[in-house]
Amino acid sequence: MSTSRGHKVLWSLVGITALLLAGTASAVVLAVQAARTMPAIEVQVDDHAADHRVAITIPAFLVAGAAWAAPRVMPAEARAELEIEMAEAALYLPMLEQLAADFEAMPDATLVEVIDGGDRVRVDKRGGDLLVRVRSADADVDVRVPAALVRSLAGSFAG
């Protein structure tokens, strides 16, 4: 009788553990998938002179988190200056939000292209992203900024 009860408790524990593991695994899979599909600012710099390459990917939640946290952890003096700057910027935030929305809505195109000697700069709109590509003898730079991220940040700051 006691063995049977022990088995029941054991199987219950196994079941609960399996459920918890399955739930955790699903949450991890969903989080990874969300992180992969989440808009992110990407910067790649290939410095020919120093012969090194830097690639930085900043996910949207980090940008939003940093924007939220920075004023709370910075010194009071710097925070006061930032608040003044933000008050001025607040006038432009709804326009920036609208500009990002207009940018998302426009068809894909090369917006700016410059060739000057060996230097080339190209600014493209591809999908919802602003792509900046610089090619020069010193360095190659690639930047990708999702307009949705700019729109969302401008919207959240505009309140």
Partner 1 sequence: MTRPNPLRAFAGAALLILAAAVPASAAAADELWLHVSVDETAGAQVRVNLPLSFLETAIRMVPADELRDGKIVLQDAELSVAELRTLWHSLDTAGDAVLVEMHDEREHVNVSRRGGDLLVEVDGPDAVEVRIPGAVVDAMLAGEGDELDLAAALRALAAAGEGELVAVTETDSQVRVWVDTSPAAPALRGR
Contact mark string toward partner 1, 47..86, x via CB under 8 A: ----------------------------------------
Whether 48 and 138 have beta carbons less than 8 Å apart is answered as yes
Tokens in use for 149?
A: 């991220």
User: Is 24 or 98 the residue whose CB approaches partner 1 more closely?
Assistant: 98
User: Is 51 or 116 the residue whose CB approaches partner 1 more closely?
Assistant: 116
The CB density around residue 41, as the number of other CB atoms within 10 Å, is 19
127 binds partner 1, rule: CB under 8 A:
no
Output helix, strand, coil percentages for the chain, rounded to the nearest 5: 55, 30, 15
Q: Which of 102, 108, 109 is nearest to 148 (CA)?
A: 102
Among 62, 74, 106, 137, binds partner 1 (CB under 8 A): 106
Rounded Cα distance, 120 and 150, in Å: 26
Among 6, 55, 92, 156, binds partner 1 (CB under 8 A): 92
- Residues near partner 1 (CB under 8 A) are 92, 95-96, 98-99, 102-103, 106-117
